[in-house]
Amino acid sequence: MNVSLQDSHDVALSVRIGIHTGLVLLSNLGQLGRERFALGETPNLASRVQGLAGVGEVLVSDSTRMLARAEFDFADLGEHQLKGIARPVRVFRALAARAAAGRPDAGLRTPLVGREPELALLRDRWSLAAEGHGRAVMVRGEPGIGKSRLVAAHRHYAESLGAQRVTLRCSPYHSASVLHPVIEHLARLLGFTAGMADAERLQRLQEAIALVEMDPATVPLFAALLGCPCRPKRKRRPRCRRARCASARSPRSCAG
């Protein structure tokens, strides 16, 4: 976001965030009760945690870290005595979201029971895809019935046959970015990290484009997609850039 703001308005945002998870009391206050306020210790503790954060930092309490540790990496900043809070509070700094391929799946290792027909269907479709007959399978159902466990079982089966896994994850927090799962995957392939300099990101992108023998003219398109500071000679609308990125082809991908 700061890259686009710097380019368009020559300004940058300085944000400090503190997060605590707990119970709150929601109350309608103000004129006609249109304003809603969260009351209690939870928002107060979150505010105190925010007071410890530096510019560009996200700090969380231990209760929040316990809920988010499967999705994010954290650095332990130790216990702090916060104003208005009787007990010491352990604070953590959020470092980065975990890559989809690196997220733990300990909860997906329980025995798979009663899903033999579904698993057989997935393996049949996998066999067809492996023979060159492309297939896509959608697994859907109510929360908690074992969709992720079923997919994990098939994934382990496919990997045992030498398959390479590509995991793309959607999120309601990125609904405004249609290509967010693809952007996340490309950033992971290129080895982007949170503290990596823009120049190194751009260099890695250029090397990857050259490696797969794609048209160098696509570099500004993918750079814009990945948030790298590489301005194209002529500005294009976001929809136009997405269309050109989607139509980009590598000679290697076209080889029989």
Q: Does a structural domain hold residue 148?
A: yes
What pLDDT shows up at residue 123? 95
What pLDDT shows up at residue 150? 92
Q: Does a structural domain hold residue 17?
A: yes
Last residue of a domain, one of 49, 73, 98: 98
Q: Does a structural domain hold residue 233?
A: yes
What pLDDT shows up at residue 7? 67
Long-range pairs for 214-222: beta carbons < 8 A, 24 or more residues apart: 214/248, 214/249, 214/250, 214/251, 215/248, 218/244, 218/245, 218/248, 221/245, 221/248, 222/186, 222/248
Give the count of domains, the chain.
Answer: 3
What pLDDT shows up at residue 245? 63
Q: Does a structural domain hold residue 255?
A: no
Please indicate, yes or no, whether residues 204 and 187 belong to a single structural domain of this protein. yes
Please indicate, yes or no, whether residues 191 and 213 belong to a single structural domain of this protein. yes
CATH number at residue 62: 3.30.70.1230
What pLDDT shows up at residue 255? 42
Q: Does a structural domain hold residue 94?
A: yes
Q: Does a structural domain hold residue 121?
A: yes
Please indicate, yes or no, whether residues 93 and 20 belong to a single structural domain of this protein. yes
Please indicate, yes or no, whether residues 84 and 121 belong to a single structural domain of this protein. no
The domain in which residue 129 lies consists of 106-160
pLDDT along the chain (256 residues), means of 10: 69 89 79 69 92 92 91 92 89 83 58 89 94 91 88 91 85 83 89 83 92 89 84 55 61 46
The answer to pTM > 0.85 is: no
Last residue of a domain, one of 54, 80, 98: 98
Q: Which residues contact 168 (CB under 8 A, 6 or more apart)?
A: 100, 181, 182, 184, 185
